């Protein structure tokens, strides 16, 4: 069990059960925006009694406590990642892989958004990735 992951969970007011730490660590190590099924299948190897419901429960808790978020890219499956330093995403339309890329800066006139309070900016680039672009 990872000490620092336990600490992160505690800081978010989540009691660090074994399962929760496992899921947290999985997200921490795997930056490939896994969906529920991928997390479930990967952790089943170590946690033989794990159920998908628990994965859903834990991820829901992580979202509520703001230590993880859904990455909603044009597809009907929910993907997840830990809330961390800002970055943007690139989605390859050939292989459908989703890449983390350095933060894309944005520029817009605040005048057109008068009265609107902006808390968050997300940028998604789509195109062809380096592997498919050959």
Residues that bind its own copies (CB under 8 A): 69-70, 72-76, 78, 88, 90, 93, 101-102, 104-109, 112-130, 133
- Are 125 and 88 contacting, i.e. CB atoms less than 8 angstroms apart? yes
Please enumerate in sequence order all residues whose Cβ is within 8 A of that of 7, keeping only pairs 6 or more positions apart, or say none: none
| Nearest alpha carbon to residue 19 among 39, 47, 42 | 47
**Six token digits for residue 37:** 């099924």
User: What track of x and - describes contact with DNA for positions 22 through 61 (by CB under 7 A)?
Assistant: -------------xxx---------x-xxxxxx-xxx-x-
Whole-angstrom distance, CA of residue 85 vs CA of residue 87:
7
User: Considering only residues 66-105, where is the footprint of DNA by CB under 7 A?
Assistant: 76-78
Q: How far is the CB of 59 from DNA (least distance, A)?
A: 8
Contacts with DNA by CB under 7 A lie at 14-15, 17-20, 35-37, 47, 49-54, 56-58, 60, 76-78
């Amino acid at each position: 069990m990872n000490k620092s992951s336990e600490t992160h969970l505690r800081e978010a007011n989540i009691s660090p059960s074994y399962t929760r730490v496992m899921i947290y660590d999985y997200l921490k190590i795997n930056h490939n925006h896994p969906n529920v099924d991928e997390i479930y299948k990967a952790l089943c190897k170590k946690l033989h009694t794990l159920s998908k419901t628990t994965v859903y429960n834990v991820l829901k808790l992580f979202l509520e406590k703001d230590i993880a978020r859904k990455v909603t890219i044009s597809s009907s499956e929910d993907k997840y990642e830990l809330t961390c330093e800002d970055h943007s995403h690139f989605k390859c339309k050939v292989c459908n892989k989703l890449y983390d890329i350095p933060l894309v800066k944005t520029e817009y006139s605040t005048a057109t958004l008068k009265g609107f309070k902006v808390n968050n900016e997300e940028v998604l680039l789509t195109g062809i990735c380096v592997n498919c672009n050959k």
